[in-house]
């Protein structure tokens, strides 16, 4: 059985490693799936008094539900689904800890406290409940924000921080009480109160974080779910759960740091709330020299272009236009045009959102260029087509002050011509004006992304 543990662990490690590349990510998913299968089989085989009916029913119901959700969830709602899955993972760990504690024969004995089981259980049980419940409720607040719900914190400034600190202190006090009380009824009460306090804390921690920071929040909550699973491993004495939970927790934290670096902000600054809150700058829609154009005119520009870069954003996902943009790119390539896609690390509403979206339409991997690799090429590019992106191409980031000051952006304004496909002049998640729209080399197409791209495809086909 030890060898099965090692096999499952190695499959998880190599699976996560393969996820770091667009070319190998599908293989990484398959390796991770195989690792999970080995983990489940191993745990069931070494278990005593296994209720096979419950195990089989759980696999069938859970597998069917997962398949149904995956099939029915459109790409636009992928960030919400990931947030929900993080929440369910945290809830599962918390429920395991609560159930294990409340059915333990020793804890049910009068005068026997959780702390009597040792220092590891005394820490692991409450930690699993706290991290799991914070992950659950925090993830569903993130789900609401990603879905466009107006969820704002009722308090501001010092009052907000005082509330969070108070809830954190209450959770610690309840955890200590739960570990030290020798009364089963009191232990049950402490468990319920601790879960409630952690759940409320999770809601309030995520509420003040702005929509533009949701990619960071999603990856951080993913890390939390892994940490909760690792603690649950100590609760159930399952080394494989400890290892896999630690892998998820560590990889999620690394991804969070990468996302913060891509925004040039610290994790503390993100967690304290800020970019993308409900406030919108007064001049966010105040433009003076907007130049609009049509798909027909854009097609003529593309006909003369030797190099084109597409910049995908959340608007591309909303319009479900990934297949049309691929069709347009293929037409341009057949005419000898050099076509690439510029991918900003925080474009969309979750880490890797644009990579997933474009992979769905089978865009060749070698056409996907990361920000650091492609930024120097914009000045030599004939046409850049920005499809539904806003903050990641906003030159305001180069200003010394402002909500996105210092944030690395795609330097699209350096191209000869920039085409921005956008339904209106509404601001992005950061809620600020985009000076790009006023530049002499910028043309706006005020249409739904799919409608605009379909019009370009039609016009390009008719040119020759």
Active site residues: 391
139 closest CA partner among 88, 92, 76 = 88
Question: What are phi and psi for residue 122, nearest 5 degrees?
Answer: -65, -30
CA dihedral 417→422→427→432, nearest 10 degrees, is 0
Which residues share a beta bridge with 340? 309
Q: Which residue has the tokens 């993913």?
A: 222
4 beta partners: none
Which residues, other chains included, contact 261 with Cβ-Cβ below 8 Å and sequence gap of 6+? none
Category of 67 on φ-ψ map: left (φ > 0), alpha (ψ -120 to 50) or beta: alpha
Task: Please state, in angstroms and rounded to a whole number, the distance separating the CA atoms of residues 434 and 281.
Answer: 11
Q: How many helices (H) and strands (E) does the chain have?
A: 17, 6
Instruction: Write out the E strands in 172-299.
Output: none
Using alpha carbons, list the distances in angstroms from residue 59 to 65, 73, 241, 286, 328.
Answer: 10, 21, 18, 55, 43
Tokens standing for residue 318: 């909303």
Element housing 341 (H / E): strand 338-343
Number of neighbours of residue 203 by Cβ within 10 angstroms = 17
Q: Residue 94's closest CA among 123, 118, 127?
A: 127
Question: In whole angstroms, what separates CA 296 from the centre of its chain?
Answer: 37
Q: Which residues of 290-301 are buried (b: 16+ CB within 10 A; e: fewer)?
A: eeebbbeebbeb
For 268, the enclosing helix (H) or strand (E) is: helix 267-271
372: how many CB neighbours lie within 10 A of its CB? Answer: 10
Closest of 252, 210, 232, 249 to residue 126, by C-alpha: 232
Stretch (H or E) spanning 307: strand 307-312
What is the rounded CA–CA span in Å between residue 211 and residue 195? 27
CA dist., res. 204 & res. 159, Å (int): 12
């Amino acid at each position: 059985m030890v060898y099965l543990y090692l096999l499952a662990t190695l499959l998880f490690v190599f699976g996560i490693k393969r996820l770091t590349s667009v070319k190998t990510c599908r293989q990484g998913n398959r390796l991770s799936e195989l690792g999970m299968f080995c983990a489940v089989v191993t745990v069931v085989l070494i278990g005593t008094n296994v209720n096979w009916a419950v195990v089989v029913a759980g696999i069938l119901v859970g597998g069917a539900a997962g398949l149904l959700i995956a099939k029915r969830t459109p790409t636009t709602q992928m960030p919400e689904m990931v947030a929900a899955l993080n929440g369910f993972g945290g809830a599962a760990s918390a429920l395991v800890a609560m159930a294990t504690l409340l059915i333990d024969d020793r804890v049910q004995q009068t005068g026997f406290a959780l702390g009597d089981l040792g220092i590891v259980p005394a820490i692991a049980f409450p930690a699993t409940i706290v991290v799991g419940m914070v992950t659950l409720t925090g993830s569903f607040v993130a789900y609401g924000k990603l879905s466009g719900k107006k969820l704002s914190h009722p308090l501001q400034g010092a009052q907000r921080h005082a509330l969070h600190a108070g809830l954190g202190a209450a959770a610690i006090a309840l955890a200590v009480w739960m570990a030290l009380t020798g009364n089963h009824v009191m232990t049950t009460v402490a468990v319920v109160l601790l879960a409630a306090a952690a759940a409320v804390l999770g809601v309030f921690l995520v509420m003040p974080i702005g929509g533009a920071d949701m990619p960071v929040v999603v990856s951080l909550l993913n890390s939390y779910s892994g940490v909760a699973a690792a603690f649950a491993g100590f609760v159930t004495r399952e080394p494989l759960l400890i290892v896999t939970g630690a892998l998820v927790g560590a990889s999620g934290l690394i991804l969070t740091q990468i996302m913060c670096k891509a925004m040039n902000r610290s994790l503390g600054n993100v967690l304290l709330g800020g970019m993308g809150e409900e406030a919108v700058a007064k001049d966010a829609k105040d433009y003076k020299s907007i130049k609009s154009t049509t798909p027909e005119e854009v097609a003529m520009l593309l006909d003369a272009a030797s190099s084109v870069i597409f910049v995908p954003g959340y608007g591309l996902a909303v319009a479900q236009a990934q297949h049309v943009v691929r069709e347009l790119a293929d037409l341009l390539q057949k005419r000898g045009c050099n076509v690439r896609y510029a991918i900003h690390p925080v474009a969309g509403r979750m880490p890797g959102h644009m990579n997933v979206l474009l992979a769905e339409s089978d865009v060749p991997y070698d056409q996907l260029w990361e920000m650091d690799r492609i930024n120097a090429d914009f000045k030599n590019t004939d046409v850049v087509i920005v499809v539904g992106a806003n903050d990641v191409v906003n030159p305001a980031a180069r200003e010394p002050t402002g909500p996105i000051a210092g944030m690395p952006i795609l330097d699209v304004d350096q191209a000869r011509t920039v085409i921005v496909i956008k339904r209106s002049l509404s601001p992005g998640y950061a809620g600020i004006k985009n000076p790009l729209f006023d530049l002499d080399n910028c043309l706006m197409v005020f249409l739904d992304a799919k409608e605009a791209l379909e019009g370009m495809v039609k016009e390009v086909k008719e040119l020759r």
